[in-house]
Amino acid sequence: MPQISIEQSLHNSLLNAAQEVQKLHLLELFQLQPTRAETYRLDVSPIYLDYSKQALNQQAIEGLIALAEHKNLASARDAMFQGDAINHTEQRAVLHTALRNSERLNKVDAHTAAEIEHTKQRMLNFVDGIINQSLLGFTGKGITDVISIGIGGSFFGPKMLQSALEEQRASAINVHYLANIDGAQIKHMLKALNPETTLIIVASKSWTTAETQLNADAVMTWFKSHFSDQQAIKQHWVALTAKPQQAQAFGISSDYIFPLWDFVGGRYSVWSTIGLPLALSIGREGFESLLAGAASMDKHFCEAPLNANMPVMLALIGYWQQVYLGYNNLMVLPYSHGLKALPAYLQQLDMESNGKSVNALGDEIANSGPILWGAEGTNCQHSFMQLLHQGKQKAMVDFIVPAKGDPHYPAHHNMMVANGLAQAQALMQGKTTQQAFDELIASGEDETSAAALAKHKAMPGNTGSNTLIIDALSPFTLGALLALYEHKVFCQGVLFGINSFDQWGVELGKQLGKTLMSAIETQDLSQLDPSTQALLKHINL
């Protein structure tokens, strides 16, 4: 008999488990194993994960854990935390975890640890100064508004957390984010702002991002049209960057430049000085608490056994659904208006990290991370959920439900929770044609039309989901939640065999964007493909 590799044998056993599990409806899995809800859950305060509604059995879970062990997931995790250059295509360590008070877990050298702490304190002292108005604008007025110019990782995290933590504001400062290159947005934003009381932050790790540069130039022109004095720029312009010299060359004072480092990837940078605009809203304590929440998840990730490790289990469940059940979409549905921007944040985190097609050796891989999207509940129920209930496409689903809502509106919160959990139930249970028929008869329909209508009202159900109950929208909890997803994405990168920390795919669009810009400026379209030429001619710039 030919020998098969360990990997192949693990794969075969998982294929077998998938076949077994798919013979049964989720409701039958619950009948067979009534304790699923107690068995398939993890409680890692402040997050409770229920995965009992997933099409999983013990054989699948054991097979997945064996796969994680075979892929040396724990050593890969340790390599990240100890600062190995795991981002091998850029020869960089990946140490965003070192930014969140988890020195004990990270083996960064003493000099780097001191620099991280010093930078954080500098940033938070600055935040204190702006909030308590010991730092003032050029004309002696306090700062009321901030324009934060940045895109991608220099935008999504602070913006998303700021809206999630609106209730935890520590200041009355309004932060306006300028990410996209849309003149209409700048015009409206600037029209409403007074440069005397506005602080302008340029957040760009690389200091080369075209959108950020163009926006920074436009805002600088506006600012200089009011104050051309260099001292005014010194007091109103801030840079968050790994390229301090370039920021200085742009005119920003070194006192107002807050660095980050190569070992912090853009989409992992909200914990760094990139979080400054957020800190101006939630204050020192709020920001420290965010870091502490993330650190608590780091500790759990480093210490919990694989089968009780929330990021690991979340990654394995997703891997299982994708590779063995054939799903390729992950829908994230936060039942919270405050978390409305979470899907967009997670899109960059997951898809920029795991949207790759080769492994570390450069060999083609069969699977990469999922297509991630979503929207806040209950709004999503009135748009795309219909497709999940009755359409032919299936998706993985993460429901995220805060246990506490606004105390002034208890009925709203109750309805929110009820709807989130009801959607998970509906996806699992579905409705048989017989059930639909019986309901129609009970409502007075005659038999012929009930039989016809029942077919349209039936839904298969049997769609699994994770439900994550988070205690409330607090900085600590959200720190833990984001760290959970970061580590999940990391684990899936290890399972797929890819480097989650580079993003070469983004580069081609940037290059072509530049070529097109110069074709537009020189009006020479001759080198462009016929479709692009025709489009530009039609737009007639």
Ligand X SMILES: O=P(O)(O)OC[C@H]1O[C@](O)(CO)[C@@H](O)[C@@H]1O
Residue with Cβ nearer ligand X (72 or 206): 206
Closest residue to bound ligand X by CB: 266
Q: Is 212 in the site for ligand X (CB under 6 A)?
A: yes
Active site residue 205: no
Residue with Cβ nearer ligand X (352 or 398): 352
Q: What is the DSSP string of 314-370?
A: HHHHHHIIIIIS---EEEEEESSGGGTTHHHHHHIIIIIHH--SB-TTS-B-S--PP
Residue with Cβ nearer ligand X (355 or 460): 355
Residues 393-452 that bind ligand X (CB under 6 A): none
Q: Is 506 in the site for ligand X (CB under 6 A)?
A: yes
Residue with Cβ nearer ligand X (44 or 203): 203
Residues 255-314 that bind ligand X (CB under 6 A): 266-267
Q: How far apart are CA 157 and CA 176, in angstroms?
A: 14
Residue with Cβ nearer ligand X (148 or 309): 148
Question: 395-415: b or e for each residue (b if 16 or more CB lie within 10 Å)?
Answer: bbbbbbbbeebeeeeeeebee
Residues 172-211 that bind ligand X (CB under 6 A): 204-206, 209
Active site residue 412: no
Least spacing, CB of residue 187 vs ligand X, in Å: 23
Q: Is 221 in the site for ligand X (CB under 6 A)?
A: no
Q: How far apart are CA 267 and CA 519, in angstroms?
A: 31
Exactly one of 382, 404, 455, 456 is catalytic; name it: 382
3-state helix, strand, coil in the chain (%, to 5): 55, 10, 35
Least spacing, CB of residue 467 vs ligand X, in Å: 30
Indicate the DSSP class of residue 104: T
From the list 360, 362, 268, 365, the residue with the least C-alpha distance to 322 is 365
- Which residues touch 11 (CB under 8 Å, ≥6 apart)? none
Least spacing, CB of residue 536 vs ligand X, in Å: 24
Exactly one of 352, 376, 394, 487 is catalytic; name it: 352
Residues 67-126 that bind ligand X (CB under 6 A): none
Number of alpha carbons in the 13 Å side-chain half-sphere of residue 287: 27
Least spacing, CB of residue 304 vs ligand X, in Å: 29
Using CA atoms of 70, 323, 509, 342 in order, give the dihedral in degrees to the nearest 10: -90
Least spacing, CB of residue 246 vs ligand X, in Å: 11
Exactly one of 88, 188, 510, 514 is catalytic; name it: 510
Least spacing, CB of residue 242 vs ligand X, in Å: 8
Residue with Cβ nearer ligand X (152 or 374): 152
Report the sign of the C-alpha dihedral through residues 99, 103, 109, 110, in that order: positive
Q: How many residues at the interface with ligand X, by CB under 6 A?
A: 14
Active site residue 376: no
Residue with Cβ nearer ligand X (202 or 310): 202
Least spacing, CB of residue 351 vs ligand X, in Å: 11
From the list 222, 168, 228, the residue with the least C-alpha distance to 198 is 222
Q: 3-class DSSP state for residue 48?
A: strand
133 and 245 Cβ atoms separated by less than 8 Å: no
Residues 346-385 that bind ligand X (CB under 6 A): 352
Residues 116-155 that bind ligand X (CB under 6 A): 151-154
376 and 334 Cβ atoms separated by less than 8 Å: yes
- Show the tokens assigned to 16: 């077998």
Contact residues: ligand X, CB under 6 A: 151-154, 204-206, 209, 212, 266-267, 352, 503, 506
**Catalytic residue list:** 352, 382, 510
